[in-house]
Amino acid sequence: MADQKQLSRDAFDRLTAEHKDLTGRGRIDIARKIEAARELGDLKENGDYHAAKEEQGKMEGRIMALEAMLEDVEIVDAVEVSDKVQSGNLVTIRYEGDTETEQYLIGSIEERRAGITVMSPGSPLGAALLGGKVGETVSYEAPGGSLAVEIVKIEA
């Protein structure tokens, strides 16, 4: 069994609506496209047919991915206020030696929001940040060597 995923209510509702749309309207639309392409004749050299079948494959892949995501999910309505970094927090960091800061949402890519970069808690930096406090410096192994970042701010 896979690890239970945590999603906000908003992300869960959005993914559920997308799944419902793809398994209803999406499948009907793609079936119509395939049928219309079949009527054009020889399937061997029929670009419309092959494009529709490819689109169908991508859509079915997305449906399976959504089903897997929604199968074992924990709805997290609000992130608890804490002085430590946890999944669901917006974390502002500064790389050692830099003056500029960067902000990340620690969580699933499905939690993405406009203007905010999402970082998986399972990534090297995400894992290093978890449990850290404002003012602490954490380090992690990157492909180019060890990097250190200071936790500047934690927001719920």
CB of 137 closer than 8 Å to CB of 150? yes
pLDDT tens readout for residues 83-92: 888 888 889 9
Domain ranges, residue 59: 5-75
- Quick check: is 100 in a domain? yes
Last residue of a domain, one of 24, 40, 75: 75
Higher-pLDDT residue of 105 and 80 is 105
Cβ neighbours of 156 (radius 10 Å): 11
CB crowding 54-92: b at 16 or more within 10 Å, else e: eebeebeeebeebeebeeebeebeebeeeeebbbbbbbe
pLDDT tens for 126-150 read 999 999 999 999 999 988 889 999 9
Asked whether the predicted pLDDT for residue 81 surpasses 70, the reply is: no
Q: In the prediction, which pLDDT does 1 show?
A: 44
Assigned token pair, 123:
């990534």
Q: Say yes or no: 71 and 95 in one domain.
A: no
pLDDT in tens, 97-130: 899 999 998 888 887 777 888 998 889 999 999 9
Q: How many domains does the chain have?
A: 2
Q: In whole angstroms, how large is the CA radius of gyration of the chain?
A: 21
Both 48 and 103 in a single domain?
no
Give pLDDT, residue 150. 93
> Does 50 map to a domain?
yes
What is the C-alpha to C-alpha distance for residues 41 and 53, in angstroms, rounded to an integer? 15
Rounded to an integer, the average pLDDT of 18-23 is: 96
pLDDT of residue 77: 67
- Write out the DSSP string of 70-122: HHTEEE--SPPP-SB--TT-EEEEEETT-S--EEEEES-GGG-BTTBEEE-TT
The answer to whether 135 and 143 are in contact (CB under 8 A) is: no
Reference 57, options 30, 87, 83, 79; nearest CA is 30
**CATH value at residue 50:** 1.10.287.180
